[in-house]
Structure 1
Amino acid sequence: MDQPEDPATLSQLPPATLPFSQVNVFSAAPLAGNPVAVVHAADGVGAAEMAAFARWTNLSETTFLLAPTDPAADYRLRIFTPGGELPFAGHPTLGSAHAWLAAGGRPAAEGRVVQECAAGLITLRQDRPDSQDHDAGRLAFAAPPLVRSGPMHPAEVDRALAEAGLEPEDLVDAAWVDNGPGWMGLLLTDAAAVLRAAPQPGSELKIGLVGPHVSAQTPADVEVRAFVPGLGIPEDPVTGSLNAGLAQWLIGTGRLPAHYVASQGTALARAGRVHLDQDAADPATIWVGGDCVTVLHGTLRR
């Protein structure tokens, strides 16, 4: 990883422009999902400039597409929040792959895209490519391995409930579902409990909530929320990494079926839909999918 520049030198960089996209992820409706800012051809951009641009966009994530260093990868990705760099994140992975394909990227293997990032190689598949519109379609990534799993300590559970503004009777189960960001997973009694939660002032934990929808009229099986203090935003609208970890836990323990749809963003007036699928040929693999559409494209002036 390159060394960060002195921020004081950023204003002395020579003028340049780079292709730019802003992609709506986890919804085919342009303003209903989670946006990610994508800077193309960013090999000449240093870490400090990346971080500064991510703070300026003030989105949950801003990404930078670079040439791969691993011959097995189609491209390399760096992912920044307003608070710093992440080794991996789900909705930026889908949105960046979508932007790369829409800009003319051609993967080495048809129907498969391999992304290189700080967490390693991430495989994506094109679940629903649209031959009529190359800037729309559904992508899915293979959930990365959990770096921490298993039960949470009772004291950790109590603290997570308190920080989420929940009561012990709201809880069904709790587990670590950490694939890099540090997610704690809380399975609640129902979707109403998920939507009733309210992160408390001074919260520090990264907490993922999930609860089943009890109405057959709801176009999703569960409701999910992601509280992310410390990353520059209090709540993430729709979160691929969290849904990946939750699915590995809940499908793996039989609490949810091999195929289900998660709704996320309701509390933020969004309508995100995350499609979770256990691979029939390889049950250890969980695919995390969502619709993507480019909302903005143009050039970034450095």
Structure 2
Amino acid sequence: MPRNFSRHLLVAIFLTAATGSFGTDFWPVEYSFEETFVGEASVARGPHRVEDFDESDTLLRLILTPRVKLGVLRLGFEYEQFSFGMGKNTLLPNTLQSVAAVVGIDTQFSDSILVRLETTPGVYSEAFRPGSTDFNMPFEIGGTYIYNPDLQFVVGVSIDVERKYPVIPGGGIRWKFQPHWVLNAVLPTPRLEYEWNKNLTLYAGATLKETNFRVGDDFGRDHGIPKLNHAVLTYSEVRAGLGIDWKVTSWLSVNAEAGYQPYRVFDFYRANIRFHEDGSAPYGMIALHGAF
């Protein structure tokens, strides 16, 4: 795990430096790199258990944001990989990964109403294979109503045909109720923030994740359950912790966070096979993000 983290961090630093010069000469760029390590925990399904495995979650996102007549386009890619330290004979995959394009637009209907439409078509798989057909295209629509500079309301909907419930609503509120305090209660990362100064923010919050993947064509046969061949696996987790966000420069911020992961589920929902959290685990996260 530490070796993977070092490799991913070096890639992120290279991309950060490269996009710094690229963004100033071409279209504006948003970027983020995030690495999370979760300590050992277990999951269970009835009497069956997968014990004492850790997790590494790597997320890389690079978005070009050129301005057009209708608003601001969002064009780029994102990559995410969950790596689990499980044994080879478990009924769960050791790796879940996705690589997807990002295609969207931010537009403004009035001085008070902002709307975002975004889709992430790509491959969501247990492991990338030549000729993979594990294609999916999740879609999100969200809107923000700016009541005043200190209070905004957010509503949205997420659509994914591979999900057990294809359409899920969401939303939240952002309320600056004191000069240094902000309730940023917007899913999937609700937070209570304290703005120490213009460059430093402390927070307590949570991260909710849920992504659908396809396992391999022979995954079920290899594990003695043929109905799991090419099955949809929904992976969900919740993390809760304390963090700090430090704006180092105008184009680079560093985010560090630590806490516990109280909830995790591996759900082959179409096959009615579900492993749930059986004990929480600590986690640590570090991220680089910014815009040019």
Could you state the TM-score of these two structures normalised by the residue count of structure 1?
0.32
Larger radius of gyration: 2
| Greater strand proportion | 2
* TM score, norm. by length of structure 2: 0.33
Higher RCO (C-alpha 8 Å, min separation 6): 1
